[in-house]
Structure 1
Amino acid sequence: MPITQYQNNTSIYKKGDQKVYDITDEKRAWYRKISHESRLSKLSAEEGLIDSIHEINKPRFDPDLLMPQLESNGLTAISLFSGGGGLDLGFLRAGYQHIASYELILICKDTLTTNLESTNIYCGPDEGDVRKVNWNIYKDKVDIVHGGPPCQPFSVAGSRKGADDERNMWGEFSRAVNAMKPRVFIAENVLGILNPKFNDFVKKYILNELTDYSITTFKMHTADYGVPQIRERVFFVGFRNKPRLNKFTPPSPTHTWDHLGKNDSYPNCLLFDTGLEKTKGVRDCLGLHSIGFDNLAPTIRSAFTGKRNTTSILNSTAGQKSWGDMQIWPNGIQSSREKASAFPAKNKHFRLSVQDVGLIQGFPESWKFAGAVYQVLGQIGNSVSPPVAYHVAVSVANALKNT
């Protein structure tokens, strides 16, 4: 019988008293090799056998500047599948009032309670499981319902079982929206959900279940909004009042990033001037010295993956090369910059801290994550990039206030 962990990238089944993790032998061996090498290196560092090889970095990137705090717009919002709070933060910065957050993973309660300064945080299997909530208590009391139902049923990194995946929570998202009847709902997911394979799924769980709403769909890329990461996501936005949908305009890019991924000798004359601000590369954002090359980070994976509590953000072997080109090590992430500096990485590459990873996802350093390193990375990797959420929130607010 499957064990329900719908925020986990790895399917878990019970075979007798044993848990069976649904990942390939090749991928398992790859994780083990990286983990073993990292462990040996860390032990040497802790024993003082290796000197630190890089100074503690001072970032030159502040995500708060990408989402200036707006005055209250008088709109209320509730979040489902809240994770580390990416959507919550974006909506707060856009002037919304937070009503409540719901999340299955218990450690998220400490993160959300601390940062949102709210008592209406419901996390864990007892109070955060959306399948157990009577949403009628919020009926007609909330303007916006937003959330990112688990993406694993549609992700190219998974088995793509769609409706047959135990982690499919789209039916629960639709149930919540239909019960609360907000003016608008916003749902985020991976691009895989738009694959023709899932057309029937989208029709059944979104279009046919949310018939009281007029829905639009659009894609967003984090780097288009100044965040130094390759991360494309799809948004479904539904308005209960159809004329309001006609006033809604999906966010337009605020930044360009065609200059990244090229060495410093690349002719500037070959770059098209869009008039937009340039997204910084990862090295620039983290305050690292120039090596003549900078780029966006590969998509950060969730660390709630696999049998071990991984401290890696690497999502593929191709991603390893991309990180390597920037001379940054994506494995063995440390809990602080001081510890990262004291733990030399392979090839003398820069080792990341959880604070650095948060910045790469678009979280300001003022947003404090609770838990062990793998739990922090899991919260970051599962989250919507806050500046992206912010621009969606602003566009929705503009549609609701336009006459």
Structure 2
Amino acid sequence: MSSIELFAGAGGLAMGVARAGFQHTAIVEWDHNACQTIRANKSHYDSHGEDFDLYEGDAREFDLSRYKNNIELISGGPPCQPFSMGGKHKGNLDDRDMFPIAVRSINEILPKAFIFENVKGLLRKSFSDYFNYTCLQLSYPNITKKNIETWEAHLSRLVQAKEKGVQPLYKVGFKLLNSADYGVPQKRERVFIVGFRSDLSVDWEFPRATHSEDSLIYKKWVTGEYWKKHNISKAAKYDPPKRFLNRIKSQKERGMRYPNTLPWVTVRDALSGLSDPEHPSLLDPQNHVYTPGAKIYKGHTGSPWDEPSKTLKAGAHGVPGGENMLVRDDGSVRYFTVREAARLQTFPDDYFFHGAWSETMRQLGNAVPVKLAEVVASSVAEALSGKA
């Protein structure tokens, strides 16, 4: 099945889509270093050994017309800065808002399905009208905005069409997903917007979570399997959460199996096999280089070993202050290396990131975890498989 990836960044979503069985016809990204990263790892995007076009430039200038009615899936992560909790919160007033381009691509190409990803901040109350507007545009991409029309006036026309029972071109749904719930060693919440062309009559739901915090706590404090796996004997020093143990007791009394999911993947799980970057090993993969200067700030204290990491972030100049850090056993902190951050984003160890440390960390902070992308894209591929 053919696909086009817009706003590709370092390629996390694109790789997950390829792993799900889609073959990219084109990948679009404006940032030079991110494009160099994709070029250096091109084989990861060729699910069937075929080539694709990498367009390095503004997505607004990409010629979509030649792909009309010839693409199964359009995917992408429109720049998140307009809606990010850490951004300037300009939303649709930010010239980096690329959702209009996402809508235009759907209208011009008419793919069978689409997957778009963005930050949790998109669901904030202050953006609710614009988010509703975006979803309606994706549902009715053929009801286009007029040149002199405000987005509010366009929204009013779209609402009227829906209320009159006009059949949408796409059936659109969205959900806030926590990456940790799907086996990613990172607590990263992102909004996924997924649509299927209405004439296909696809019945689809977001994939169910496969991992949970409850299961991780169970493996730590009930069976002790987690500590045994990592040869850690100090677990007895920790106090297990009584709230959780009371729930376990209740479940057992009712004769129910508990838990029924896999445990969240922790930082310790993810970084297993890598040396301390301050004392590197010749066996370490590329991009595993220590960077000094990590400091704790109020509210930014780093990620503990035995939980999924906090959300990796991308500042305007790489790593924002007090972020993307590991808390050592003695309480001190250090920055994650590029390779460690890549593992937390579930990129493979042979995936090389192009650019200086700050630039590569920015690519990683903006990326979609590969594993989460694959889970969502695989469910979309399965839904489409019988709708050729």
Q: Distance in 2 between matches of 1:103 and 1:150?
A: 11
Q: 2:32 aligns with which of 84, 87, 106?
A: 106
Q: 2:309 aligns with which of 286, 297, 316?
A: 297
The reply to whether residue 249 of structure 1 matches residue 205 of structure 2 is: yes
Residue number in structure 2 paired with 1:122: 55
Q: Within 5 A, what are the aligned runs for 1:182-331?
A: 182-208=111-137, 210-211=139-140, 212-241=169-198, 244-245=201-202, 247-258=203-214, 259=216, 264=235, 265-267=238-240, 270=245, 272=248, 273-287=258-272, 294-303=306-315, 305=316, 309-310=317-318, 312=319, 323-324=326-327
Q: Distance in 2 between matches of 1:286 and 1:327?
A: 18
Q: Residues 174 and 206 of structure 1 are in contact (CA less than 8 Å); yes or no, is this contact kept in structure 2?
A: no
Q: Distance in 2 between matches of 1:315 and 1:240?
A: 44
Q: 1:327 to 1:171 in 2, by over 3 A?
A: farther
Q: Distance in 2 between matches of 1:170 and 1:219?
A: 18
- Stretch moving more, 187-196 or 206-215: 206-215
Residue number in structure 2 paired with 1:57: none
Q: 1:395 to 1:159 in 2, by over 3 A?
A: same
Q: Residues 295 and 326 of structure 1 are in contact (CA less than 8 Å); yes or no, is this contact kept in structure 2?
A: no
Deviations 1:50-77 (A, max 9, x none): xxxxxxxxxxxxxxxxxxxxxxxxx111
Q: 1:389 to 1:369 in 2, by over 3 A?
A: same
Tell me the number of residue pairs that the alignment of Structure 1 and Structure 2 aligns.
294
Q: Distance in 2 between matches of 1:255 and 1:76?
A: 30
- Stretch moving more, 103-112 or 113-122: 113-122
Deviations 1:300-354 (A, max 9, x none): 1114x1xxx44x36566xx87xx437668xxxxxxxxxxxxxxxxxx4x555321
TM-score (norm: length of structure 2): 0.69
Deviations 1:205-251 (A, max 9, x none): 33135412110111211111111111001111111125544x21211
Q: Residues 225 and 253 of structure 1 are in contact (CA less than 8 Å); yes or no, is this contact kept in structure 2?
A: yes
Q: Residues 24 and 52 of structure 2 are in contact (CA less than 8 Å); yes or no, is this contact kept in structure 1?
A: no
Q: CA deviation at 1:283?
A: 2.2
Q: In structure 1, what residue type is equivalent to 2:28?
A: Y
The reply to whether residue 354 of structure 1 matches residue 338 of structure 2 is: yes
Q: CA deviation at 1:80?
A: 0.3
Q: 1:135 to 1:367 in 2, by over 3 A?
A: same
Q: Residues 172 and 194 of structure 2 are in contact (CA less than 8 Å); yes or no, is this contact kept in structure 1?
A: yes
Q: 1:326 to 1:90 in 2, by over 3 A?
A: farther
Q: 1:327 to 1:250 in 2, by over 3 A?
A: farther
Q: Distance in 2 between matches of 1:283 and 1:196?
A: 36
Residue number in structure 2 paired with 1:30: none
Q: Within 5 A, what are the aligned runs for 1:91-170?
A: 91-117=17-43, 118-123=51-56, 128-170=57-99
Deviations 1:96-132 (A, max 9, x none): 1111110110112221122224451112xxxx20111
Q: CA deviation at 1:293?
A: 6.0
Q: CA deviation at 1:284?
A: 3.0
Secondary structure of the 1:199 match is helix
Q: Distance in 2 between matches of 1:327 and 1:165?
A: 43
Q: Distance in 2 between matches of 1:221 and 1:267?
A: 24
Residue number in structure 2 paired with 1:394: 378
Stretches of structure 1 that go unaligned for 5 or more consecutive residues are 1-74, 329-346
Q: Distance in 2 between matches of 1:398 and 1:209?
A: 22
Q: Residues 25 and 52 of structure 2 are in contact (CA less than 8 Å); yes or no, is this contact kept in structure 1?
A: no
The reply to whether residue 178 of structure 1 matches residue 139 of structure 2 is: no
Q: Distance in 2 between matches of 1:293 and 1:96?
A: 35
Q: Within 5 A, what are the aligned runs for 1:346-385?
A: 347=332, 349=333, 352-385=336-369
Secondary structure of the 1:391 match is helix
Q: Residues 102 and 130 of structure 1 are in contact (CA less than 8 Å); yes or no, is this contact kept in structure 2?
A: yes
Q: Distance in 2 between matches of 1:231 and 1:377?
A: 16
TM-score (norm: length of structure 1): 0.67
Secondary structure of the 2:327 match is helix
Q: Distance in 2 between matches of 1:191 and 1:357?
A: 20
Q: 1:100 to 1:326 in 2, by over 3 A?
A: farther
